[in-house]
Amino acid sequence: MDNGGEISAEVEELSAGSTTVVFTTKSGSRLLAERILLLTHRIAGTEAREVRAVNVVITDDAYLHNLNRDYKKKDQPTDVLSFNLADSTDNHIEGDIYISLDSAELQAKERNEKIETEVIRLAAHGFLHLCGWTHDDDVSLRSMMDRGEKELISVLLR
């Protein structure tokens, strides 16, 4: 992962409270993991929700392709998948978010941004799904993307 020379440590897993960030294909940036943890905390607070248990798994296209095929019935890779495991009757957030580092790298190049920025963007999108956000049409997708960008900026500027 290109870290722009700003990251001094790598981790395979980092937890804070009820949220864990896991890198499956290779060690990842401690700063990136910390920013994802901060992001989930910030979004949960603004959504007035409590995190019960969330895993953010940073992996590769092959893994997401298999998940997408097996659980979403789409035989193709994707950049992010969320699996909401919370009981819909309470205000807790519980679930798993899978992010493809391969897709994030490609999308970061297309946007001329750091991979870290794209991974955080995908984490925000996945976490908003765990909070109940959906995007069944262009308007709801734009609203969700705008919300994710707001949180992305707040985390990157911290």
DSSP structure string for 94-115: EEEEEEEHHHHHHHHHHHT--H
When the pLDDT of each residue in the chain is averaged and rounded to a whole number, the result is 89
Tell me the longest C-alpha to C-alpha distance in the chain.
45
With a pLDDT cut of 70, the percent of the chain lying above it is 94
- The domain 10-156 is placed in CATH, from the list 3.90.105.10, 3.40.390.30, 3.30.980.20, 3.30.70.1400, at 3.40.390.30
The DSSP secondary-structure symbol of 47 reads T
CB count in 10 Å sphere of residue 3? 16
**Confidence class of residue 104 from pLDDT cuts 50, 70 and 90?**
very high
Token pair for residue 109?
Answer: 């190049």
CB 122 within 8 A of CB 32: no
50-83, pLDDT tens digit by residue?
Answer: 999 999 999 999 999 999 999 999 999 899 999 9
Q: What is the pLDDT, as a whole number, of residue 8? A: 44
- pLDDT, residue 150, reads 87
Give the separation between CA 99 and CA 57, rounded to whole angstroms. Answer: 6
**pTM, whole model, 2 decimals?**
0.89
Split at pLDDT 50, 70, 90, the class of 7 is very low
Query: Which is more confidently placed, 82 or 13?
Result: 82
Write out pLDDT tens, residues 117-155.
Answer: 999 999 999 999 999 888 888 888 888 888 888 888 888
* Amino acid at residue number 70: D
Whether the pLDDT of residue 5 is over 70: the answer is: no
Average pLDDT (18-45) is 91
